[in-house]
Amino acid sequence: MNEIAPPESVTLATVWLLGVSMGLTACTVTCLPFLGTWALGRASHPGEALRHTAAFLVGRVLTYALLAALAGAAGLGLARALGGNVGNAAIGLASILAGAWLVLRPQGRHAAPAPAVAVVKVHREKPRDHMPPLLLGATLSLTPCTPLASLLALSASAGSAPQGALMGLTFGLGAAVTPILVLVPLAGRLGRELLSGRAWLSRWLVWASAAVLIILGLRRWWVLL
């Protein structure tokens, strides 16, 4: 039977590479439908898209550090429990909140491209608009996967909350190396292109994106029934 190597033989570089392996694969597949839809609905400009992606990744890194610290202090069982029904419920709530946010709050840095002679009105990004991406990042970190299970097992073997937190932080920084840093701004650009010369589409784009996020959230809740 294969056994996980003891913490003494596992370097932080190995943990970082474990995070990179997830950031380049599972993270993109799991996270892009949520964050990409958010950026599309807002027709985000590159600066806003990058800020919201950064908030998303910060949420992930902090959650990985917390989960690994819990595994180090209380063993694997408690941390795994957070990745089950609790995780799906949290992801569903964060996704539904993001969808509602799109509809209930004015869009941030959004302006449909217009002819050069026209005056383009730019709306400034509202305070706390980074909260939905931050919450999405934090909750999507609870999605079970093999790299995360390995991280929690290593942290539990360490038997120390600080050492577990360090492993989780290192893992999260590795997972932050992800194609969504490029793909999310492209989703925002797609939204702006769709609105180019079609200002009447703005409301439909927002509502359609909000509906997708809410459906994704409800789907997470459905598995709990």
| Structure confidence at residue 192 (pLDDT) | 93
Contact (CB, 8 A) for 102 and 204: no
Residue 31 confidence (pLDDT)? 93
CA 86, 27, 176, 98 dihedral sign is negative
**Degrees to nearest 5, angle at CA 132 with 172 and 129:** 115
The span from the CA of 134 to the CA of 161, in Å, is 24
pLDDT of residue 170: 96
pLDDT per position in the chain (225 positions), as tens? 444 455 566 789 999 999 999 999 888 899 999 999 999 999 999 999 999 999 999 999 999 999 999 888 877 676 666 656 788 899 999 999 999 999 998 664 444 444 433 333 434 566 689 999 999 999 999 887 888 888 988 998 888 899 999 999 999 999 999 999 999 999 999 999 999 888 889 999 999 999 999 999 999 888 776
Phi, psi of 36 (to 5 degrees): -65, -40
Residue 39 pLDDT = 96
- CA proximity to 78, closest of 164, 147, 163: 164
Question: What is the pTM for the complete model shown?
Answer: 0.85
Give CA 14 to chain center in angstroms: 23
CB count, 10 Å around CB of 217? 25
pLDDT value at residue 83: 58
3-state secondary structure of 105: coil
- Angle, to 10 degrees, between the axis of helix 161-175 and the axis of helix 146-158? 160
